[in-house]
Amino acid sequence: MRGTLIFAGSSCPALTGKICANLGMAPADAELTQFSNGETSVRILTSVREKDVFVIQSGSPKINDTIMELLIMISACKGGSANKITAVLPYFPYSRQSKKKSHRGAITARMLANLLGVAGVKHVITVDLHASQMQGFFKCPVDNLHAEPLIARWIRHNVPNWKEAVVVSKNAGGTKRVTSLADALKLNFGMVTTDKKRGPNMTASMIMNHLDGIERQPELDAITDRIRTASLGTENGTLVGEEAQETDPRSVADAQGSPRRVNGRSPRPPGASRSRPARAQPPTEQDEAEEDGAEYNDQRAHEVTRGRLVQGHIVPDDFPSPATSAADASVTEEDPMSMSHASSFFASQPHALGGSGDAVSSDEEEEILKPKVEHMITLVGDVKNRTVLIVDDMIDKPGSWIAAAETVVKRGFAKKVYCIATHAVFGADCLEQMQACDCIDTIVVTNSYPIPEAKLRNASKLVVLDLSFLLAEAIRRNHYGESMSPLFLHNGD
């Protein structure tokens, strides 16, 4: 592409090389060094005057150094009279800090967006932002590409019997991402939720088990029985008492206030006999649809499976609670302090600044690994003898992934588990723990975040998808002013 220069940051030289190879060009020359005190130095070794410049930089273990390097490279190109500077960020740093977690917290992602604007960025290309609302932080256009078409294509080609699979979210905050992939593949979806409010004693658990047996209130049962009896009497051709005409759910009033039937038949005149059987008529499709709609089932879903989670792992039902001690065992059920603690179980916990639970979702890993706290984990959806695809935007810590995998296998009796994410952050020994987990069969990620070669060699379950074609096409379309919409479409192959 004439008039275009692509600069590679120090975080992802391999990915930048693949992008340039797909575009048929070489990376532009730049010298990236550091002084002895850690300061970053950048020298642009080619002319950028009136050129369309793309700077590719992703996350890395030294994230703050890479951010500073990116800002200095953008400022250097701006000082060199570049016509347009586009920041290509396969993984956007600080994307998990897009909202306040406390009253004295900082929205760091917005601050980084402001820094990029001040440095001279005119366009941003990234992949799978942690929260799509982050695009509003920028004063320049943002192309938030999705790895979903690439992941869906890999699933269709590499997952045996994928049409019977179930897409599962490992927390409530990722349901939108999961349902999008499930809709693209026309699959069922489920969800795993972890209750982080369970206390040290079992009083709250006993109360919840007692409430599980309560399906509805007696008053509602009486009303439902009256409606069902009236409906059955009407189907047999006989109105049951005065209540049949009053409670028939298929009778409505017309414009003049007179009652009429929904299916077009007028009601029985007031002087007609109530006990005379009506003329038998074959049921129509409309009548069957109305009966299905009237006799709905308000019972709880049967595809709900619960389990006990201790230190991030599923344990049997008879496993002793880690918080149970001699002092706890001496507390009777009627003890006021015990009941007070149980009542606090039902009290709604305030989220960060009164917002949704997403603001505190980053603390989930630490919560489920606490040694003296037992959690209740719930699986919603039927995964028995099916392949499960656990999907999220990134893999950083292994706790919630292993807990979700053990839940669908040991409680839901799933056949095979795939852990799928776009950004392979793999903090500390995350990849090693997921590799050692017997319930996880395959880990699928992309190369948006650099993975050390040592980890790649030792992870037999790891599959890395290449984003270079997606990013190269985005750069080409951005340079020529073409639409980005085709990059979001799913190919049928």
Model confidence over 91-113: pLDDT tens digits?
Answer: 999 988 888 888 888 899 999 99
In percent, the amount of the chain with pLDDT more than 70 equals 68
pLDDT in tens, 136-172: 898 899 999 999 999 999 999 999 999 999 999 998 8
434 touches 443 (CB < 8 A): yes
| Predicted pLDDT of residue 283 | 52
pLDDT in tens, 28-37: 999 999 999 9
Mean pLDDT of 236-257: 46
pLDDT score of 355 more than 50: no
Global pTM reads 0.72
Report the pLDDT averaged over residues 348-362: 43
As a whole number, mean pLDDT of residues 249-275 equals: 49
Q: Which residue has the tokens 């269709």?
A: 156
Query: What average pLDDT does the structure give for the chain?
Result: 77
Q: Check residue 320 and give its pLDDT.
A: 78
Q: What is the pLDDT of residue 388?
A: 95
Q: What angle do CA 339, 341, 345 make, to 5 degrees?
A: 110
Is residue 66 scored above 80 in pLDDT?
yes
pLDDT at 351 over 80: no
pLDDT greater at residue 66 or residue 373: 66
Range with the poorest average pLDDT among 193-207, 283-297, 462-476: 283-297
Decide: 458 and 435 in contact? Cβ < 8 Å.
Answer: yes
